A and B are shown apart, each in its own frame.
Chain A
Amino acid sequence: MATTTFERKRFNLSPSMLVWLVLLALLLTIGIISAVAVFYRGLIITNMSDTIPWGLWITVDLSAIALGAGAFTLSAIVYIFGLKKFQSIVRLAVFVGFIGYSSALLTLVMDIGRPDRFWHPWVYWNVHSVLWEITWCITIYLTIMIVEFAPVLTEFKFFDRYPWVRKVAHLLHKAAPVLAVLGLGISLLHQSSLGATYGIVKSRPIWFKPSMPMMFILSAIAVGPALTMGVAYVVEWITGKHRISHDVLRSIAKFSGLGILVYGYIKFWDLAAVTYYGRTPAVSEAFNLLNQQTPYNFAFWVGEIILGIAIPAILFLTPRFNRNPGYLVIGSFLAVIGVITNRWNVTVTGLFVPLAYSPGTLYQLEPVQYFPSLVEWGVVTGILGYALVMLTLGVRFLPLFGKEEAHS
């Protein structure tokens, strides 16, 4: 059936494309082998423990969702603030968002102890739980993105013989602005609740603060579009087709740069309030421990502040650099690294600090070092492979850049 369609658009397998496909196959194979091992033996083969129950996978999960925020930010810019100039990148942004969210859900399914019960949050509600709310929002938002994307999918030649599907999809697309607003609300809610997941845990001194949701959502709004911008440039380099105007991409870089500065500003006051002016004995002790036993300080200042905030902000905002696509791609790559470092720093460091609950003075839980095991890296490799396969397929087969540009 579908083969006829593919034959018409026959793939010209260049040597570099072949190498790329082999690489993708390798990543996916590593991922599948690791996933099978985890499903078969259980989470015991990871390096997580009862002291550090969340690790690399949660980090990837949080990062993928944050980086998928380009979809919601750029949709909001177009549909709510009416800046039609950015219309040309919305499809790509939604597609990147879809990849981010679906990667996150895949990682989550790996991470929970009972993947066979992944549907429980929809049936058994605990409306008090931020994690319940996050599960709902992520799945609803993923659905919204699919609906938003339906017309693009149905432009695929395969649907020539099923015109009614196309009709339904276009009907749904009429609701795009409504969906975008709905998606905006939901996205705003869960991007911040992901921070609240940590911010509300009162027993962990370095998590428990109201700035947590703020910092999560600001970093997502700032860095998500930057990733979309970076992807647009890289796709342009590889396919050799100039599809999205560089003026639009530079505007996104500037927006992202400003967003990163706002994020940095909140982070500065958070640092000042929590660790300097308003520090409690528990927080001081926690940071002492982290500085002595983990590379937290280095990861924070170098990974989050210098690489993740300072350099991208300079590259995105100064005319000298933001006229050059090369610098913009480097900037978006560094900003992404900054977000991932931040999510790791939040998750693992909070858990590294032992709980202090005993009435005396001597007994303390031992801090346990955590470094992801091979199988954890393997699963993450597979997730990365999945994301790249989706991107490759999308760029090759989907009209991601709108009709006019695709035909010219």
Chain B
Amino acid sequence: MTKKKTKIKLELSRRDFLTVAGAAAGSVVAAQALTTGPLSPFGTFKQAQIEGLPETEGHTANGPRWGMVIDLDRCIGCEYCQRACNATNDVAPDKPWNLVVEERTTADTPFFFTRPCLHCGDAPCVEVCPVQATYHRDDGLVIMNYDRCIGCRYCEVACPYDARKFNWEVRTDINPFIPTWGIAEVERRPRGVVEKCTFCIHRIDSGLERGAIPGEDREATPACVNICPVGARIFGDLNNPSSAVSQAIVNNSTIRLREELGTDPAVYYIPPKEGL
């Protein structure tokens, strides 16, 4: 036994040496990649998340990032935003993209809580989609490609805000909100794909082409923002410090939903005056 051991010791060949040296060098490279390299949890991408800086993945730092401020203190719960949205995007009435519910603060004062898709900067739905059918545009919007979606519904499972709805069947219903609350500006989605609020992307894109400014010019602004009778919804470019949304965020204390998840939503809420 002991003889054998010494023999092994003596037979440390060049090949063994190279193997060990190679493994050591490989480990150093791997460690480097994991601590400061692209795989690192402390790398630039994750650092941006920690510091709340705009990320490079979702949108360019220089371009716009569309966002919304919803003033819960002003909202009267009229549901106009929901109705206008249902008409403009031809949404099924029982599966609204825009949600309006009555809420109560800890002091038991009622207020109204509304919610579109929050267009997260670090969106769980985008991360889990196996085919990139939902993705970030350069302007930060989280968009669905209905032609690519395979209908696995993982995004629906992963979304922390219940913002996504699946087309379980071919829609043949008559939309009761048309034409009273607007006309359908986009096609109905086919059976078997997931859909959600787009911040009225068709208005933003065509408005920008004509030189309109989303959030200021009505034709480039989401339907829910236009119709709000009390001005509880403000829309605009979060990256532009002089835009109405940026000003509202600077001048008010705002919250975002489930900020602890690190999803970086583009929708900010101004809580009721007395607090939540």
10 A-B interface contacts by CB (under 8 A): A43-B151, A53-B166, A126-B129, A203-B159, A203-B258, A203-B261, A355-B160, A359-B103, A359-B276, A360-B105
Interface string of A244-271 (1 = CB under 8 A from B): 0000000000000000000000000000
Closest 6 A/B residue pairs (Cβ): A113-B151, A113-B192, A203-B160, A360-B103, A44-B169, A132-B130
Distance in angstroms between the alpha carbons of A113 and B153 in the assembled complex: 8
Q: Is A10 an interface residue (CB 8 A)?
A: no
> Are A201 and B103 neighbours in the complex by a CB distance under 8 Å?
no
Residues of A within 8 A of B157 (CB): 53-54, 201, 204, 351
Q: Is A135's beta carbon under 8 Å from chain B?
A: yes
Produce 1/0 per residue, A17-45, CB < 8 A to B. Answer: 00000000000000000000000011110
Q: B181: CB under 8 A from chain A?
A: no
Flag A346-378 by CB within 8 Å of B: 1 or 0 each: 000001000101111111010000000000000
Contact in complex: B151, A362 (CB < 8 Å): no
Q: Which residues of A contact B257 (CB under 8 A)?
A: 357-359
State the CA gap A43–B151 with chains docked (Å): 10
CB <8 Å contact, A202 and B124: yes
Assess whether B72 is in contact with A359, with CB atoms less than 8 Å apart. yes
Q: Is A358 in contact with B113, judged by CB distance below 8 angstroms?
A: yes
Q: Report B142-195 residues with CB < 8 Å from chain A CB.
A: 148-154, 156-162, 164-170, 191-194
Give the segment of A95-103, A115-123, A228-236, A323-331 that binds chain B. Answer: A115-123
- CB neighbours of A124 from chain B (8 A): 131-133, 148
Q: Does B46 contact A (CB under 8 A)?
A: no
Number of A-B contacts (CB under 8 A): 147
Closest chain A CB from B274 CB (angstroms): 12
Interface members, chain A 50-75 (any B CB < 8 Å): 50, 53-54
- Minimum CB–CB distance for B188 against chain A, Å: 14
User: Quick check: A42 and B160 within 8 Å, CB to CB?
Assistant: no
Q: Are B154 and A131 in contact (CB under 8 A)?
A: yes
B168 & A121 in contact (Cβ 8 Å cutoff): no
In the complex, chain A residues whose CB is within 8 Å of the CB of B150: 112-114, 117-118, 120-121
Q: Please determine whether A120 and B148 come into contact, CB atoms closer than 8 angstroms.
A: yes
CB of B201 within 8 Å of the partner chain: no
A361 and B151 form a contact (CB under 8 A): no
Interface size class on chain A is 35 or more
Within 8 A of B (CB), among A185-201: 197, 200-201
Q: Is the CB of B113 within 8 A of A363?
A: yes
Is A3 part of the contact surface with B, judged by Cβ < 8 Å?
no
Q: How far is the CB of A289 from chain B (nearest CB, A)?
A: 16
* Chain B residues numbered 98-154 whose CB sits less than 8 Å from any CB in chain A: 101-106, 111, 113, 115, 124, 127-133, 148-154
Question: Is A128 at the interface (CB under 8 A from chain B)?
Answer: yes
Say if the beta carbon of A129 comes within 8 Å of chain B.
yes
Contact status B132-A43, CB under 8 Å: no
Q: Is the CB of A357 within 8 A of B160?
A: yes
Please pick, from B104, B132, B169, B261, the residue contacting A360 in the complex, using a CB distance under 8 A: B104
Task: Write out the residue numbers on chain B whose beta carbons fall within 8 Å of the beta carbon of A150.
Answer: none
Q: Is there a chain B Cβ closer than 8 Å to A130's Cβ? A: yes
Give 5 A-B pairs besides A202-B160, A358-B103 with Cβ atoms closer than 8 angstroms.
A50-B166, A53-B166, A113-B167, A203-B161, A365-B162
A125 within 8 A of B: yes
Interface of B, helix, strand, loop or mixed by DSSP: loop
Binding site for B on A (CB under 8 A): 41-44, 48-50, 53-54, 111-114, 117-118, 120-121, 123-126, 128-132, 135, 197, 200-204, 351, 355, 357-363, 365
Q: Determine if B199 is an interface residue (Cβ-Cβ < 8 Å).
A: no
**B1 to nearest A CB, angstroms?**
23
Q: Would you call B95 and A126 a contact (CB within 8 A)?
A: no
Which of the residues B131, B166, B191, B258 comes within 8 Å of A120, measured between beta carbons?
B131
Given the known inter-chain contacts A50-B156, A201-B124, A203-B261, please indicate yes or no for A355 contacting B169, CB distance below 8 A: no
Cα–Cα distance between A54 and B158 once the two chains are bound (Å) = 12
Q: Determine if A53 and B148 form an interchain contact, defined as CB atoms under 8 angstroms apart.
A: no
CB distance from B120 to the nearest CB of A (A): 11
Are the C-beta atoms of B113 and A113 separated by less than 8 Å? no
CA A118 to CA B148, docked complex, whole Å: 10
**Contact status A131-B133, CB under 8 Å:** no
**Which residues does chain B contribute within 8 Å of A43, judged by CB atoms?**
151, 166, 168-169, 192
User: CB distance A363 to B102 under 8 Å?
Assistant: yes
Closest to B154 in A: A131
List the B side residues contacting A365 at CB < 8 Å. 162
Residues of chain A with a CB closer than 8 A to B106's CB: 361
Are B168 and A360 in contact (CB-based, < 8 A)? no
CB contact list, B46-71 vs A, under 8 A = none
- Find chain A residues with CB under 8 A from B276 CB: 359-361
Contact B191 A42, beta carbon cutoff 8 Å: yes
The answer to whether B124 touches A203 (Cβ under 8 A) is: yes
Within 8 Å CB of B255, what residues of A? Answer: 359
Contact A121 B167 (CB under 8 A): no
Tell me the smallest distance from the CB of B182 to a CB of chain A, in Å.
Answer: 24
Task: Using known A-B contacts A120-B148, A357-B257, determine if residue A50 contacts B95 with beta carbons closer than 8 Å.
Answer: yes
Any chain A CB within 8 A of the CB of B269?
A: yes
Establish whether residues B166 and A113, one from each chain, have CB atoms under 8 Å apart when the complex forms. yes
B160 touches A114 (CB 8 A): no
Taking CB atoms, residues of chain A closer than 8 Å to B193 are 113-114
Q: Does B271 contact A (CB under 8 A)?
A: yes
Closest to A131 in B: B130
Is there an interface contact between B168 and A42, defined as CB atoms closer than 8 Å? yes
Minimum distance in angstroms from B143 CB to a CB of chain A: 14
Known: A50-B156, A202-B160. A360 touches B111 (CB 8 A): yes
**A351 → chain B closest CB, angstroms:** 7
| Residues 35-92 (chain B) with a chain A CB within 8 angstroms | 72
Specify which chain B residues have a CB less than 8 angstroms from the CB of A200 in the assembled complex: 128
A128 to B72, CA, bound (A): 36
The interface residues of chain A lying within 8 Å CB-to-CB of B170 are: 42
User: Chain B's nearest CB lies how many Å from the CB of A88?
Assistant: 35
